[in-house]
């Protein structure tokens, strides 16, 4: 299958694939970071919003939330989940807003979907333009130098009479600005198993590289990848939550 074909063709399975994600905890944690670092506003854009579960929580928290994604089937599901929100079909590396917002989020490592470093830089510039004064940009990332190619995350879920097994893992060659997310889905029904495999090419960078790209636009705060606690990044983990305040 071609790059991202799985994401487009199986959008109806996306929520099942992410069933073990605690969207409420993630959204609540970012809301707390926004309360600490933000401008006290309540307008919000979720970039690479997928099917909209984070937006649902932000609306419930009292935000005026909208979403942006490159995949229309995902946006169709998001609109059904969040009819109050406006959703735009757009590429995160080159988007603009009519009215700037107070908070922009990008969950589930989706900022890595920028194709290369130049596209990543364009994305960060677009985010900066789309934020109000002292607005906040929050997202999570993985450091290319700490990717373990042997690490695979796997879980199972049921949908009606079908059993699904979802597997994913980061892959990095050790050099360059390309990494990939390998995804596998097994669907078993009536003792017959179907298997889909796909590989999503993404941009790779170190945290040090990312901070240098962000510096001209933002005051950068890096936290441990823990949605239950607020802890400054300890330089040991390969995952982190970046909180960036517009300057």
Tokens of 242: 């970046």
Residues 110, 14: contact at Cβ < 8 Å?
Answer: no
Residue 14: per-residue pLDDT: 85
Give the residue, 161 or 244, on which the prediction is more confident.
Answer: 244
Q: What is the pLDDT of residues 209-224, one digit of tens each?
A: 999 999 999 999 999 9
Q: What is the chain's alpha carbon radius of gyration, rounded to the nearest angstrom?
A: 18
Closest CA to 242 of 130, 114, 153, 110: 110
The domains of the chain are located at: 10-143+205-246, 145-203
pLDDT > 60? residue 8: no
The domain 145-203 is classified under which CATH number: 2.20.130.10, 2.40.340.10, 2.130.10.30, 3.40.1360.10? 2.20.130.10
pLDDT > 80? residue 75: yes
Mean pLDDT of 158-171: 93
Helical residues (DSSP H) of 82-194, grouped into ranges: 117-130
Residue 10: per-residue pLDDT: 61
Bridge pairing between strands 101-106 and 131-142 = parallel
pLDDT > 80? residue 1: no
Q: What is the pLDDT of residues 109-151, one digit of tens each?
A: 999 999 999 999 999 999 999 999 999 999 999 999 999 999 9
Q: What is the pLDDT of residues 36-63, one digit of tens each?
A: 999 999 999 999 999 999 999 999 999 9
- Assign 3 a pLDDT band (cuts: 50, 70, 90): very low
Rounded percentage of the chain residues whose pLDDT exceeds 90: 85
Domain 10-143+205-246 matching CATH 3.40.50.720: the answer reads no
Range in 22-26, 121-125, 182-186 the model is least confident about = 182-186
Mean pLDDT for the chain overall: 94
């Amino acid at each position: 299958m071609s790059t991202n074909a799985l994401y487009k063709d199986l959008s109806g399975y996306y929520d099942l694939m992410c069933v073990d994600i605690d969207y409420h905890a993630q959204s609540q944690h970012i809301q707390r970071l926004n309360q600490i670092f933000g401008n006290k506003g309540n307008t919000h854009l979720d970039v690479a919003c997928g099917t909209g579960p984070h937006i649902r929580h932000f609306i419930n928290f009292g935000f005026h939330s909208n979403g942006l994604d490159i995949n229309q089937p995902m946006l169709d599901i998001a609109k059904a989940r969040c009819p109050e929100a406006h959703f735009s079909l757009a590429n995160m590396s080159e988007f603009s807003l009519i009215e700037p917002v107070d908070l922009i989020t990008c969950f589930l490592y989706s900022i890595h979907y920028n194709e290369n470093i130049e596209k990543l830089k364009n994305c960060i510039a677009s985010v900066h333009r789309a934020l109000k004064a002292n607005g906040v940009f929050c997202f999570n990332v993985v450091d290319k130098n700490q990717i373990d190619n042997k690490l695979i995350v796997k879980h199972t879920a049921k949908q009606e009479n079908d059993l699904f097994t979802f597997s994913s893992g980061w892959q990095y060659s050790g050099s360059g600005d390309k990494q990939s997310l390998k995804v596998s889905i097994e669907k078993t029904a009536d003792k017959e198993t179907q298997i889909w495999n796909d590989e999503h090419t993404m941009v790779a960078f170190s945290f040090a590289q990312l901070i240098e790209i962000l510096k001209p636009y933002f005051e950068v705060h890096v936290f441990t990848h823990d949605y239950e606690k607020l802890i400054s990044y300890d330089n040991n983990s390969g995952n982190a939550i970046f909180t960036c305040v517009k300057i």
